[in-house]
Structure 1
Amino acid sequence: MPAAGRAMPSTEPVIWRGQALGAPATLVLNHEDRTEAQALIKKVVAEVARLEGIFSLYRENSALSELNRVGALAAPPAELVELLETCRHFHQLSDGRFDPAIQPLWALYARHFVSADADPAGPTPEEIRSAVALAGFDKVHFDRNRVAFSRPGMAVTLNGIAQGYVTDRIVMLLRDAGVTSSLVDMGENSAIGSKADGSPWRIGLASFENEAEPDLVLDVTDRSVATSSGAGFLFDPAGRFSHILDPRTGTTARQYERVSVVAPLAATADALSTAFALMTPVEISSLAKTVGEIDVHLRTQDGQTCSNKNPAATGDCTI
């Protein structure tokens, strides 16, 4: 979906496609000055690379990888501390459903199913209990001088919020440069203003990235959208175990095909879409009212769609 700056509609867009924290990323800018647009693209690419050097779970030299390897990190980057503070807010707000300290549980499932003779029933209850005991973001202690885990074997993943955080940083960079109309996709989507013709940006929602058609299309202006779907990553060929794991029980979330959140900030939408995947519609409704300024769109496993945006049209699936 093309983004627009202050250019005339006939101006050819400048397009960048790449990766942001392992996910496909796109930035499309229509701009009256093509040279300036290309310079902005370079700044975006540099900022994404810098932030990836902090938050990446898979780069051995990232700040996050060092923290997980050693169990502590001195003089952490300011952006890491800022994001950890945001994580603590959503961990407390969601009563522990949003839990970046779930990485040992994720690693357990990954190790189990990479084995050629893996039990299709998954890890043993004892293994799951041991991994769950290492979860809990309240066991991560940090300030601007140091980050440390309270127990050996702990590890953190920021995959449930870092893409949103990076998206917000890129939006801020573009706004500071004077961009008033753009659509940013850094793994999560964020609209700056409306399109050049004044109409809202349109973002399609689906449970699978390769869906031919979305099951819902949203009109978005100055808002961000994030989606959590178990189909995004499956540990096993049968599709019984997804990456959305409950830090309290170690089990896989199976209630929804898709949970999508629209919020002012992409980090908020990212974190809440993860937490909501582990909540009942009643719990989602309560938390959504507490947070305010968010829209929630669900698709259940039996194909029902429901939303707090238009609850009268959602049938039995009401939030």
Structure 2
Amino acid sequence: MKKIHALGLSFCLFLTLLSLGGCGKTTEPISKTGFYFDTVITITLYDASYEKELDHCFSMAEKYEDLFSAQKEGTDIWKINHSQGQAVEVSDETIDILNAGIAYSKSSNGKFDITVGKLSSLWDFSESSSKEIPSVEAIQEALATINYQNIVIDGNMVSLTDPNAAIDLGGIAKGYIADQMKAYLNDQGVQSGLINLGGNVLCVGPKDGDEKSYKIAIQKPFSEDGTALATVKVADDSVVTSGTYQRYFEVDGKRYHHILDLSTGYPCDNDLDSVTIISHDSLTCDALSTTVFLMGLDDGLAYVESLSDVEAIFVTSDGSIQYTSGIGKTIPFELLDKDYNIVVK
């Protein structure tokens, strides 16, 4: 028997509502929701005079989807992936995100790589797919194409030295786009708001009103209704979670999720249910949430502790929670589900 699960869309709305509650705001917020990047996005601004700027953020979402999507025909990434190794001229924004993706791929020591496209395309977690497990042969062929060093950038020209390779920006695109939206809003004078791109949350300045921090929920893994496991309070920061419960399917009682181990080509199996990263910019959070998840609990904790201005929360499949040294100190943390245990080392 095959089952498909894509949790998180209703939770994205719940998360936004949670962060809006009890804010003591001086003006009524304005909010808009749409569907981009295969997920629900919601942007809320705490000043009704910025309706034009709010609308422009959704124009930005459409623009970036038309540049970065690997599935949508005619985008910059689609052209690179279908050029058979020939150089393709792309936008400045595409060059910008590719350089960021290459940097994160290099620093991850093989855990994260934006040339994962051939492998990720084998695993279909959409509602309409047949949920087939790829063959061993297909996985091995795809693994052979993963190497960020195959990307060649010369000005605005991009090529892949391996014509069979494919770029997939799914691990960083939402973070990059959220940061660009925030930069635009800041330039326009917006002082308080919340950008939520399918659960990638970025605060725009402190919250309006007496309470300056936003209360952001961390979802309880595999909760069908998006129940919150815990909350953190942040201001002008980003909170991004990668979890096995977000997109997965089941075949004969075995769960296959979307976070792929690039050493095997199969979903990562390391007893983690989720990793939440908190930092100032959303691109960092987006890339690290996947990378640190793939590192596993012990190595991931040590790695984040070595970074400046980054914190992490790990939720394991046995119901325990561990986090880095700033959680509960510089970043207020509240556990809501008493069935989970906080482990301090």
Q: TM-score w.r.t. structure 1 length?
A: 0.87
Q: Does 1:231 align with 2:245?
A: yes
Report if the CA contact (8 A) 1:224-1:262 is conserved. yes
Larger RCO, structures 1/2 (Cα 8 Å, 6+ apart): 2
CA RMSD of aligned residues (A): 2.6
Tell me which residue corresponds to 1:249. Answer: 264
Q: Does 1:214 align with 2:228?
A: yes
1:287 positional shift: 2.2
Tell me which residue corresponds to 1:180. Answer: 191
C-alpha distance 197-172 of structure 1, shift in aligned 2 (>3 A)? same
Report if the CA contact (8 A) 2:97-2:176 is conserved. yes
C-alpha distance 109-70 of structure 1, shift in aligned 2 (>3 A)? same
Tell me, in whole angstroms, the C-alpha distance in 1 between the residues paired with 2:186 and 2:254.
41
In the TM superposition, what are the counterparts of 1:42-57 in structure 2 within 5 Å?
A: 42-57=55-70
Tell me which residue corresponds to 2:320. Answer: 304
Q: Does 1:27 align with 2:43?
A: yes
Report if the CA contact (8 A) 1:230-1:254 is conserved. no
Tell me, in whole angstroms, the C-alpha distance in 2 between the residues paired with 1:133 and 1:23.
30
1:10 positional shift: 5.5
Report if the CA contact (8 A) 1:227-1:258 is conserved. yes
Aligned counterpart in structure 1 of residue 103 of structure 2, from 75, 82, 89: 89
Tell me, in whole angstroms, the C-alpha distance in 2 between the residues paired with 1:115 and 1:45.
32
Report if the CA contact (8 A) 1:81-1:143 is conserved. no
AA matched with 2:308: G
C-alpha distance 136-209 of structure 1, shift in aligned 2 (>3 A)? farther
> Which one has a larger percent helix, Structure 1 or Structure 2?
1
Report if the CA contact (8 A) 1:103-1:155 is conserved. yes
C-alpha distance 94-27 of structure 1, shift in aligned 2 (>3 A)? same
Tell me which residue corresponds to 2:290. Answer: 274
Report if the CA contact (8 A) 1:235-1:242 is conserved. yes
Aligned counterpart in structure 2 of residue 294 of structure 1, from 299, 304, 310: 310
1:114 positional shift: 4.9
- Cα deviation 1:148-198 (Å, max 9, x = unaligned): 112122111101100000100111111111111111112311112222124
Report if the CA contact (8 A) 1:163-1:270 is conserved. yes
AA matched with 2:232: L
Tell me, in whole angstroms, the C-alpha distance in 1 between the residues paired with 2:319 and 2:87.
45
Tell me, in whole angstroms, the C-alpha distance in 2 between the residues paired with 1:84 and 1:198.
40
C-alpha distance 186-278 of structure 1, shift in aligned 2 (>3 A)? same
Tell me, in whole angstroms, the C-alpha distance in 2 between the residues paired with 1:226 and 1:143.
32
Tell me, in whole angstroms, the C-alpha distance in 2 between the residues paired with 1:298 and 1:228.
10
C-alpha distance 209-18 of structure 1, shift in aligned 2 (>3 A)? farther
- Cα deviation 1:200-259 (Å, max 9, x = unaligned): 001101135854421110101111011111222224444522111111221211321111
> Aligned with 1:155: secondary structure?
coil
AA matched with 2:109: D
Tell me, in whole angstroms, the C-alpha distance in 2 between the residues paired with 1:78 and 1:210.
40
Q: Unpaired segments of 5 or more residues in structure 1?
A: none
Aligned counterpart in structure 2 of residue 128 of structure 1, from 124, 139, 153: 139
C-alpha distance 288-150 of structure 1, shift in aligned 2 (>3 A)? same
C-alpha distance 150-179 of structure 1, shift in aligned 2 (>3 A)? same
Aligned length: 307
